Each structure stands twice: as C-alpha cells, then as structure tokens.
Chains A and B, each alone.
Chain A
Amino acid sequence: MKKLAMFMAVGLCAVAFLGLCFAEEAVTTVSVPTVATPEKPKEFVVYKDKGARDNHFIPSGWMGDYGDIKMNDQYIQNPHSGTTCIQFVYSAKKAQGLGWAGTYWQNPPNNWGSKKGGFDLTGMTKLTFWARGDKGGEVIQKFVIGGIKGAYPDTAEVEIGPIELTDTWKEYTVNLAGRDLSYINGGFSWIATADLNPQGATFYLDDIKFALDSSIKPETKKPENMPFYVYADRSSISNHFIPSGYMGDYGDIKYDGASTEDAYLGDTCIKIIYTGQATQGARWAGVYWQNPANNWGTVDAGFDLSKATKLTFWAKGAKGGERIEEFKMGAIMSEYSDSDSASIGPVILNKEWTQYAIDLKGKDMSYVIGGFCWSTNIDVNPEGATFYLDEIKYE
C-alpha cells in the first residue's frame, strides 16, 4: 500500500507538475499568440503577359520624343514565354525635337512623383527582363529602375546600358542588392536616342520582374577599362557622358553631334557653333559632358576612371585661329563631386585636325561626373567661333 500510495502520490505530483507546465504553456500561448508570418514573396512581376493578374506598374510615362514611340503590349508573335510580349517601335524622327525617347512603368499611371503610389520592394535583389531587337543591333541607351523624383521620390535609381540588342531573346539582369527599394514608383524604364539609332529601333520586352536571389551581392564599383570614350561617333555604343551642361550664353551654342563634315575618324564628328552674341548677357559660353544628362552633382553617378593617365581629343577650327579658353574634365562640385579636375588652355585651334591631351597623371580619377568640357568667350572670339571635336577619350 505504502508503495502504491507512494506511487500514486508521485503520479499525482507528476500529473500536477505536468499540468502546471501545460497550464504555463497555455498561458504563454495566450499572452503572446504566435502569428504565422507570411512567406516573403520571391518575385514581383512588372510584365508577364497582357492582362496577367500579377502584373504591376503601367507603361504610362512616355518621355522625350514621345511622338516617336508606338507600343503594342499584346504582341503575340514570338513572345519569350506565355502568349504575349511588348513591342516598341521607336522611329527616331525627333517628333518633339529632342533626339531621345523612353517609357517609364509607373504606379499609378502617369505618376511622376506627385502621388504616393510606389511599392515597397525591400528584399528584392535583382530585376530581370528579356529583350530582343527586330533586326539585332538596336541600341537602348539605358534601362532604369526607380529614379522618379517629385514630392514622393523613389528611394533608388539603378541603371544599366547602353545595351546593343540581339535578334534573339536574351535575358538581362540589373543588380539591386544593397539598394533601398522601400519606395519604387518607377518600376522599369527604357531610354533610346536617335544618335544611337539613326534609323529607329523596333524591339521587344518580356518577363520583366523583380526577384529575390540571395546569391546576388551588392555591386562594388570597378575602375572602367581604357580607352573610355566620351565621343567616338554619333552612333557608337562606346560613347559616355552627355553634352547636356550648357553654360553662360547657352543661346549662343549650336551643337551637332552627327556632323559629317570631314570627321577625323569614323563617319561623324561634333560640330559646335558659338555665335558670340551674348544671348544671355554672360559674354561667355561652354558645354559640360555629364553623366547622366544635366547632372551638376545632384546624382551619384560618377565613373571610376582611375586607370586613365590622359584625356585626348582631336579638334580643329572652321577657319583656324578660333580660341577656346579651356578644355577640361572634372571640377563639378556639389552634393556629389568630381574627385579631381584637369585642364588645358587657352588653345588656338588650327584649321587642320590636331590632337590635344590633358595630363591626368597624379590625379584622383576615381569619380567623374563631368567627363569633358569646353568654354570660351566673346572677347577672344568677337565674331564667334565654329569648331569641331572628335575622338574624345580617356586613355
């Protein structure tokens, strides 16, 4: 009995103890309920097929020469997957006189940052898309993710390009690892220029999507390989920087990046007419080649040109004797600043093509937004000046 009583007592104690444990567990469960966290989405689709339920963003933001763009977002011939792809026809006719065009996918449509509509894409590490050209050789200046400004600006801007398309489907990846994707309204965009596509371009896009890929690591910036062209030829995919930074009497400047008048090399050169009329009253003028266009240091987009030891270019005057006060690189200083600057000048141009070099030895070339620049003034060119540039490159 004693044993039984003892056994029962131990048994009761055990039951009581276990009960207490369970009771405790029950209390714990009640006080902090375990809510099943939904698995994070591994992809976020921009375009899969026409009308697909998981498409996001609308290709509503037509930019530049928007009259040059035709879009068919239910093109059924030879999609990469599914039943449709998107066809873009860019005529390069400069309907608005700008020489470039592009399309932004936005949310909601036509939202240039004035409304709150961006998605939180935190966790995504890449955007992939498939593209092909109608003939092959079509050049897209760049594909961009984010970058819409305004009252509700995107938290990131990432781009790749220029890209020369092939006539078969090819997948492209944009590395987004380490980027702040907490607010993205401009989900995807492309930009093409008439210079790089003088005959226009017909191209196709399909299966555009953000994805989580833990194998993708944040990109570290690598020094660009040399030679690194600012200008090779009008349609060269090697060109970098845009001649967008007009300064001083900008109304006195006529820029032709596709002059066929006796190019030094290739089929075109740059022809610049400075009329010297002091249209804005500054009595001087000049142009900066920037990356991207119009970047006066507000966008973090400098190239690492650490491998460069000199910047060379060819130049000539229409008559000979035209005086350029300064040819320069770098020296854009703002929120994001060029890491150094170098210049030559004044230079009196010859009538024949002459090569000039800006020595970069010892310079910090790790961050360059302002790739090239010239400036002159009315005092040394009272009749204005017409001059030509070609083969501008870092070596």
Chain B
Amino acid sequence: MKSSTNKNKHCACQCSGASALQLTTGALVTGVAAFFIFLVFLSGMASRPKPAAYIKKLKNGHYQLIVDHKPYVIKGVCYNPIPIGQNHEYDWWSDPNKPWLADGKLMREMGVNTIRVYQCGENPEAVKKVIRDLYKLYGIRMIMGHWLGFWEYPCPGYGENDFKERVKKEVLSMVDLYKDEPGILFWVLGNENNYSFSGQVNPWSSDEIDKEPDPQTQKFMRAKIYYSFVNELAREIHQIDPNHPVALGNGELIGLDIAAKFSPDVDLVACIIYRGKTFGNLFNSLKATFDKPIALTEFGADTYDAYLNKEGQNMQAFFLESQWRQIYENLADNKEGAGNCLGGTIFEWSDEWWKHNESDPESWKVHDTESNWSNGSYYFDIRAPKNMNMNEEWFGIVAVSPDLENGINKRIPRKAYYVVREFWKNPTLGNKNKKKDKK
C-alpha cells in the first residue's frame, strides 16, 4: 500500500508539471483538492485495522486463523457446566457460584485457549460477565453458537419465512450484543441441523418439498433451503460485525457438497465428528467438496468402558491424543496434511449427569452407566451388549463429584486432561520419525 501511494504521487507531479500552464487556477485548485482527497482515501485504506479474528488463505492454499495479528490454533473444549441434579434448562451463565472461574483456571493450566458454547444465556449482562471473566482472567476466547431453532417444537420451520425471520432476528441480536467483546472468537450457525435433510431427524418440510416424490430430491431441496438461509445469515452478520468469522455448523461432512453451492459466504465449517481413532480422509474430502477451513467443534470420546462396565480413562485419553495428532497434522504449513484445519474443541469439558434420561429429574443426580448409542469406531468397548458402547454422561475430560467446592461440584481432571495437556505442550506428529530419519 505504501509503494502504491508513492507511485500515485509521482504520477500526479508529472501531470501537474507538464500541464500547469494550460490549467486555470480553479481547475488547479480542484485538481489538487481531488488529489488530497485521494491521498486521504488511500491513507484510510492503509490504516484500517485488521479484523480481530479472520481467516487467512496462504499461498499454498492452506488456511490459518489469525487473532490479534498472530496465527491461532484453537485448543478448546465444549463448555456446558450443568451441575449434578440439574438439566439442560439450567442457566449456568447466571450461576452465582460462577463455575467458569474454577473451570477457567483449570483450563488455563491445561493450555485451553477457547471454549465453545452452543447458545448464549438469556441475560446479556450475565453472558458478557462470563465472556469477560474468561478472557480477562485466563485469556480464554469463546466460540458462540446458535441452534437456529433446531430444537423448536414441533419442528424447525426452515421452509417457512416467519420462522426464518424470527431466527434471523435472534441471531443478529446475539451478534449485535456481543460482537464488541474482545473474548469472542467467531460465530457458529447451527450444529447438526443438516441431519434433518433426510426427513428422519426433526423432520421439516414445505409445500414444494411435499409435492416432490423422490426422497433424494427432497433431501437436496431441504439442503438448498437450509444452506441458503445460513448464507443469508452469514452475509448479514458480516455487515454488522466484520471482526469475526462466521462458521457453518455441520454434522460430519454430510451435505457440504450442496453447501458449496448455497453457502459461499460462510468463512469456515464447524464440524461434529465422532470417528474414533482417526478422522480418516475428512480434511482432504472437505477440500475436494467445499474448500473452506474447518474447526472440529465437537469430537472426543467417552470414558466409560461399556464392555468392562467400569470407567476406562486410558481409552478416552488414547482416542483424544490420536485425534489431536491428526488435527495438528492438518494445520496450515504441515506439508503432509491438508492444511485446512484450524483446531478443535473437545466434547466436552465436564460430565453432564442429566443426559441419559432427561425426563427423569431423579436420574439427573445419578451418573448413569447405561450406554445411549453405538459407534464401532470406539472399538475398545464395542463388544458391549447390543454393541451399545457410547455413554453420553461420561464425555468430560474433567469428572464432577457430588462434593461441593466453592459452591460447585468438585472438578476432578481425568487422564485425558493430562495427556492432551502434554500433547499441546509438545505435539508429536505421525511424521516425526521420518523427519528424524532424514537428519
């Protein structure tokens, strides 16, 4: 920018030297004024501050998240500190015991620099307090999400304009409220909302979709409507908040080939991935279908061995270390990776005891050991009865105890907490040995 300004100056001098005699005084004044306005415009361009957080595409096609002018690897956790005995309706943002203070301290000691929340609380002052406390005290930033009405009864009405307008208003209000908080990292729109395209999960429709007999075409129509809506939101967010990227939340990579056509304005994808030890071809596959950077905003492993019927901290630590290794292998500037990964947020920081049976308040006080779903990728305990090996209440890298400490359930870091901490301190990648050999 500096050199181009000089070049223009030089050009303008030549013009004024050669033609000055032919110019009237008025024209001269006008010309000089225009030149100064131009200079002011250029200097304005040169000094415009960079956004607080933005994504930079490198020459090699890799992506990097830049925060405060420096590359930023998201080393995060999903955060939802529901106390034992409460369920998801509990407004922890307004908890007088401020669980985020104890958690933030433990997180900082581990090396966490980011938390992900799925949706902010209803009291803006309380939300701002949490964002500020975590950022000012511990340097931890927040990825703030919005469900986009996915859990609304009877269904998310993405086929209806009224519904979309209402959701849009909510989202823009959220952005407007918190965009100036230095602790905000970026926005995530939706979570696994794309699973509704099949019509099996939270099914929604429209008159046009109902008329279509082919279910594959129906699926495409839903995807087109939803991803177009997300794109519209992303564009409007960019207008009111140029300082933070906007992510498309997505379950797996499902539907992203369609998002490539209808959500070009999102800055990144924020994916939920449960593939066990490896993410497989995830990063390259994304590059081939929708060339956007990716943050893994939900991944991890539970710590309950459903086969042995006891806690298995080694199992959880093993999977998490392996997952982080692959995240690092696919960060920008790693020659052997896809270079499109920005980091991730582990699911999750602490156990949530309400999840197994959310309709029974008594069960919220019990750490249930019955598995909720099956996933063969977590192969250590897949031989459990009926292959049910995933224990929703046991995903925390920090256990919670019924004992209270400063008014909150006592936090007990699990092995994964320490293993990931050590990995972040000294990331050992799969290709390390090769490099050693070369030396």
Give the B-binding residues of A (Cβ under 8 A).
280, 296-298, 323, 325, 332-335, 337-341, 344-348, 362-364, 377, 379
A377: chain B residues at CB < 8 Å are: 200
The reply to whether the CB of B35 lies closer than 8 angstroms to some CB of chain A is no
How long is the Cα–Cα vector from A335 to B215 in the complex, in angstroms?
34
The reply to whether the CB of B431 lies closer than 8 angstroms to some CB of chain A is no
How long is the Cα–Cα vector from A97 to B282 in the complex, in angstroms?
41
Q: Would you give the shortest CB distance from A366 to chain B, in whole angstroms?
A: 9
A to B CB contacts below 8 Å, 7 in the list: A297-B377, A333-B277, A334-B382, A348-B215, A362-B289, A364-B281, A364-B284
A296: chain B residues at CB < 8 Å are: 376, 379, 382
Could you tell me the dominant secondary structure of chain B's interface residues? loop
How long is the Cα–Cα vector from A329 to B280 in the complex, in angstroms?
14
Do A337 and B277 have beta carbons less than 8 Å apart?
Answer: yes
Do B277 and A345 have beta carbons less than 8 Å apart?
Answer: no
Q: Would you give the shortest CB distance from B238 to chain A, in whole angstroms?
A: 29
The reply to whether the CB of B401 lies closer than 8 angstroms to some CB of chain A is no
A280: chain B residues at CB < 8 Å are: 386
B386: chain A residues at CB < 8 Å are: 280
Known: A333-B377, A334-B377, A362-B288. A345 touches B280 (CB 8 A): no
Most central of B213, B277, B376 by chain A CB within 10 Å: B376
Most central of A280, A332, A335, A337 by chain B CB within 10 Å: A337
The reply to whether the CB of B276 lies closer than 8 angstroms to some CB of chain A is yes
Q: Mark B350-374, 1 if CB is under 8 A from A, else 0.
A: 0000000000000000000000000
Write the chain A residue with the least CB distance to B289: A362
Known: A323-B215, A363-B285. A337 touches B278 (CB 8 A): yes
Do A344 and B216 have beta carbons less than 8 Å apart?
Answer: yes
Q: Would you give the shortest CB distance from A247 to chain B, in whole angstroms?
A: 9
Pairs of residues from A and B, 10 with the lowest C-beta to C-beta distance, nearest first = A333-B377, A346-B215, A362-B288, A364-B281, A334-B379, A340-B281, A333-B275, A296-B376, A333-B276, A337-B278
Do A340 and B288 have beta carbons less than 8 Å apart?
Answer: no
Do B216 and A346 have beta carbons less than 8 Å apart?
Answer: yes
A338: chain B residues at CB < 8 Å are: 280
Do B285 and A334 have beta carbons less than 8 Å apart?
Answer: no
Q: Would you give the shortest CB distance from B256 to chain A, in whole angstroms?
A: 13
Question: In B189-216, which residues have CB < 8 Å from any A CB?
Answer: 198, 200, 213-216
Q: Mark B276-297, 1 if CB is under 8 A from A, else 0.
A: 1110110011001100000000
The reply to whether the CB of B219 lies closer than 8 angstroms to some CB of chain A is yes
Write the chain A residue with the least CB distance to B377: A333
How long is the Cα–Cα vector from A335 to B322 in the complex, in angstroms?
12
Give the A-binding residues of B (Cβ under 8 A).
198, 200, 213-216, 219, 275-278, 280-281, 284-285, 288-289, 376-377, 379, 382, 386
A339: chain B residues at CB < 8 Å are: 280-281
Write the chain A residue with the least CB distance to B253: A341
Most central of A323, A346, A379 by chain B CB within 10 Å: A346
Q: Would you give the shortest CB distance from A289 to chain B, in whole angstroms?
A: 15
A341: chain B residues at CB < 8 Å are: 280
> When the two chains form the complex, which single residue of B219, B275, B280, B288 contacts A346, counting CB atoms closer than 8 Å?
B219
How long is the Cα–Cα vector from A362 to B257 in the complex, in angstroms?
12
Do B285 and A297 have beta carbons less than 8 Å apart?
Answer: no
How long is the Cα–Cα vector from A325 to B198 in the complex, in angstroms?
9
Q: Would you give the shortest CB distance from A288 to chain B, in whole angstroms?
A: 10
How long is the Cα–Cα vector from A330 to B5 in the complex, in angstroms?
56
Q: Would you give the shortest CB distance from A373 to chain B, in whole angstroms?
A: 12
Known: A333-B275, A364-B284. A348 touches B379 (CB 8 A): no
Do A298 and B285 have beta carbons less than 8 Å apart?
Answer: no
Write the chain A residue with the least CB distance to B285: A340
A325: chain B residues at CB < 8 Å are: 198, 200
Write the chain A residue with the least CB distance to B280: A337
Do A348 and B214 have beta carbons less than 8 Å apart?
Answer: yes
How long is the Cα–Cα vector from A347 to B216 in the complex, in angstroms?
7
How long is the Cα–Cα vector from A346 to B359 in the complex, in angstroms?
32
Q: Would you give the shortest CB distance from B437 to chain A, in whole angstroms?
A: 18
How long is the Cα–Cα vector from A297 to B378 in the complex, in angstroms?
11
Q: Would you give the shortest CB distance from A257 to chain B, in whole angstroms?
A: 24
B289: chain A residues at CB < 8 Å are: 362
Write the chain A residue with the least CB distance to B278: A337
B277: chain A residues at CB < 8 Å are: 333-335, 337
Do A332 and B376 have beta carbons less than 8 Å apart?
Answer: yes
A323: chain B residues at CB < 8 Å are: 215
How long is the Cα–Cα vector from A143 to B50 in the complex, in angstroms?
65
Query: Besides A333-B377, A364-B285, 18 other CB < 8 A contacts?
Result: A296-B382, A297-B376, A298-B379, A325-B198, A333-B376, A334-B277, A334-B376, A334-B379, A337-B277, A337-B278, A337-B377, A345-B216, A346-B215, A346-B216, A346-B219, A362-B285, A364-B280, A379-B200
A362: chain B residues at CB < 8 Å are: 285, 288-289
How long is the Cα–Cα vector from A363 to B284 in the complex, in angstroms?
9
Do A333 and B219 have beta carbons less than 8 Å apart?
Answer: no
Do A340 and B280 have beta carbons less than 8 Å apart?
Answer: yes
B198: chain A residues at CB < 8 Å are: 325, 346
> When the two chains form the complex, which single residue of B200, B213, B216, B379 contacts A297, counting CB atoms closer than 8 Å?
B379
B281: chain A residues at CB < 8 Å are: 339-340, 363-364
B216: chain A residues at CB < 8 Å are: 344-347
Q: Would you give the shortest CB distance from A333 to chain B, in whole angstroms?
A: 4
A348: chain B residues at CB < 8 Å are: 213-215
How long is the Cα–Cα vector from A348 to B276 in the complex, in angstroms?
32
